[in-house]
Structure 1
Amino acid sequence: MTTFPTARDVRTTPEGLLWEPSERRVRGIKGDITVVDSRHPVLVWEPDMPVPLYAFPRADVREDLLRPAKNPQTGTHTGSQVFYDLEADGELVENAAWTFPAADLAGHIAFAWFLRWDSGLDHWYEEDEEIFIHPRDPHKRVDAMPSSRHVQVEIDGMLVADTHRPVLLFETGLPTRYYIPCEDVRLDLLDATDFRTGCPYKGRAEYWSSRTGTNIVWSYPDPLPAVSAIKGLLAFYNEAVDITVDEHRLERPVTPFTERLK
């Protein structure tokens, strides 16, 4: 009989990996083929990665679709791994999966998602909800809260947004984001772009640039249900604009986005 660790187990391996089991059903699909379908996934945090990835018991992976990698990406992940190419739906995807050397994770196969590496799978689901970019971190909160604070946004000294009805989004590890109704934003000073991103907590975002050409404004036209309050509202990168809240000018934070916004 196969046994699994309980949801309360959190462990660190000698290689520096942090891992814990998840009780969510996770599926990965390539074309019309389900490559992974697991009710016992394991969340794994690598030392240099701020977000987790999943590793799955071998029994939950279509190993018949995996081949020893022809060009293994040595040094890509923590420890000495065995890499696999994936052959599914008429396509060969190199280095789609790998194993960790940690004894705790023996018998598991990991798949990357989309934050740093493209896993080659087309869709990932936690339960029946599609998830984008990376697995959700169970230690992270994202709360969208309507507010009556007075929020003003300036770009290069010009007032581009002024509202008393923002939605404040509090996300663990990031600055508070201020989502503002379109009617309270000078849209004539912004240009719509083709740039798009995804977030496992919020959904798919579209962007606008300032006249300097930098994508500093975004919106979620169809956000995930947990943050439905931000639907259609506009947010500005605190790192690139000046935001005043209740007459108090906020300092520009330094985050992983800062360099990209210069």
Structure 2
Amino acid sequence: MTTFPTAQAVRSTPEGLLWEPSERWVRGRKGEVTVVDSRHPVLVWEPGVPVPLYAFPRAEVREELLRPAKNPPTGTHTGSQTFYDVEVDGELLENAAWTFPAADLADHIAFEWFRRVGRGLDHWYEEEEEIFIHPRDPHKRVDAIPSSRHLVVEIDGTVVAATRRPVLLFETGLPTRYYVPRDDVRLDLLEPTGHHTGCPYKGIAEYWSWRGEADVPPNLVWSYPDPLPAVGAVQGLLAFYNEAVDITLDGERVERPVTHFTRTLAEQVRS
């Protein structure tokens, strides 16, 4: 769980939720219909969940688009009290919104993001910037810093990348990621896959897989062709999952980290 800098900034509820007000202007849309338009959102952290979600004052939600949920779930979202289906232009998003029983949050409505579990709105914005996957945590840092360190990346003993001009990306809670200029990568050993993912801190990534016969997971390499401004230094550069490749930095082998990606990558190899 994120460590907060001041106890005064974050408040808690009897259910174990942590929350704090945000000054960001947040909007959520389904197609061209704005469902949420809030200048007074709150960020909420559920117990055991590393990323926050937003809850919004009822007055800043189009409640006429909400319907009492026909099949409300159980055991999801700590302390959730009432679930709503969201109906927009004839399309029903089941259990896409809910309320919390905590007194401090009783007049707020939270929403699922991007159909993560089969429901949710299509687009979310903070100010004029689209946000992907989940809200950004204000207590988390992501820094992309150019370097002159000597970086070598190997897959199954084959050097795939070697550079003295990497960009190191430091992200709270994750291992350092090493981004390599394309001219320093053996692109002939990689195959684009058409796979894409989104990150609220970096943008939309495209992926490559290893062409060789080594027993490695697919989509092992990624790049941000149009990253968010805060990490613009990684634009077009390629990064590799440290969890599944061998990286040497200034002559020293970097230990493969164990992260929440480790199990997923291993399962992809077995499949």
TM-score by length of 1: 0.94
CA displacement, residues 139-163 of structure 1 (integer Å, 9 cap, x when unaligned)? 0011111110100001111111100
CA change 1:47–1:115 in 2 (3 A) is farther
Say which SS state the counterpart of residue 257 (structure 2) adopts.
Answer: coil
Q: Distance in 2 between matches of 1:132 and 1:67?
A: 26
How far off its partner does 1:73 sit?
1.3
Is residue 232 from structure 1 mapped to residue 254 from structure 2 by the alignment? no
Displacement after TM superposition at 1:90 (Å)? 2.4
Which amino acid counterpart does residue 172 of structure 2 have in structure 1? T
Does the 8 Å contact 2:132/2:203 carry over to 1?
yes
The corresponding residue for 1:37 is 37
The 5-angstrom pairing of residues 114-153 of structure 1 reads: 114=114, 116-153=116-153
Give how far 1:119 is off. 4.3
Q: Aligned-pair distance for 1:113?
A: 1.1
Aligned residue number for residue 165 of structure 2: 165
Give the drift of 1:115.
8.3
Q: Kindly indicate whether the alpha-carbon contact (under 8 Å) linking 1:115 and 1:133 is maintained by their aligned counterparts in 2.
A: no
Shift of 1:48: 2.3
Q: After the TM superposition, which of the residue ranges 162-171 and 112-121 deviates more from structure 2? A: 112-121
Indicate conservation of the 8 Å contact 2:114/2:122, yes or no. no
User: In the alignment, what sits opposite 1:60?
Assistant: 60
CA displacement, residues 72-120 of structure 1 (integer Å, 9 cap, x when unaligned): 1121111242100001122111111001122221100000214843542
SS of the aligned residue for 2:59 comes to: helix
Taking structure 1 as reference, are residues 115 and 141 closer, same or farther at Cα in structure 2, changes over 3 Å only?
A: farther
Q: How far apart are the structure 2 equivalents of 1:149 and 1:115?
A: 41
Is residue 76 of structure 2 the alignment partner of residue 76 of structure 1? yes
Match of 2:219 in 1: 215
* RMSD (Å) for aligned C-alpha atoms: 1.3
Name the CA distance, whole Å, in 2 between partners of 1:80 and 1:36.
19
**Segment drifting more, 62-71 vs 181-190:** 181-190
Give 5+ residue unaligned stretches, structure 2. Answer: 1-7, 267-271
CA separation of 1:115 and 1:155: change in aligned 2, threshold 3 A: farther
1:42·1:54 contact (CA, 8 Å) conserved in 2? yes
Q: Return structure 1 stretches of 4+ with deviation > 2 angstroms.
A: 114-120
Please give the alpha-carbon distance, in whole angstroms, between the structure 2 residues aligned to 1:47 and 1:213: 31
- Kindly provide the amino acid, as one letter, of the partner of residue 109 in structure 2: I
Note the alpha carbon deviations across 1:215-238, whole angstroms, 9 max, x for none.
110000111111111010000011
Q: 1:51 to 1:80 in 2, by over 3 A?
A: closer
Q: How many Å apart are 1:33 and its aligned residue? A: 1.2
Aligned 8 A contact 2:80 2:98 in 1: no
Structure 1: distance between partners of 2:18 and 2:119: 21
Partner residue of 1:258 out of 235, 259, 262: 262
Q: Distance in 1 between matches of 2:116 and 2:49?
A: 9
What fraction of aligned residue pairs are identical, expressed as a percent? 78
Query: 1:202 aligned to 2:206?
Result: no
**Which AA in structure 1 matches 2:85?**
D
Decide whether aligned partners of structure 1 residues 119 and 20 sit closer, same or farther in structure 2, where only a CA change above 3 A counts.
Answer: farther
Query: Normalization by structure 2: what TM-score?
Result: 0.91
| Paired residues of 1:20 and 1:43 also in contact (CA < 8 A) | yes
Task: Give yes or no for contact 2:66–2:87 (8 Å, CA) kept in 1.
Answer: yes
**Secondary structure of 1:215's match?**
coil
What one-letter code is carried by the residue in structure 1 that aligns with 2:185?
A: V
1:18-52 Cα offsets, whole Å, 9 max, x none, are 11110001000112211000111010011121100
8 Å CA contact 1:79, 1:101 repeated in 2: yes
**Is the 1:165–1:180 contact (alpha carbons within 8 Å) kept by the matching residues of 2?**
yes
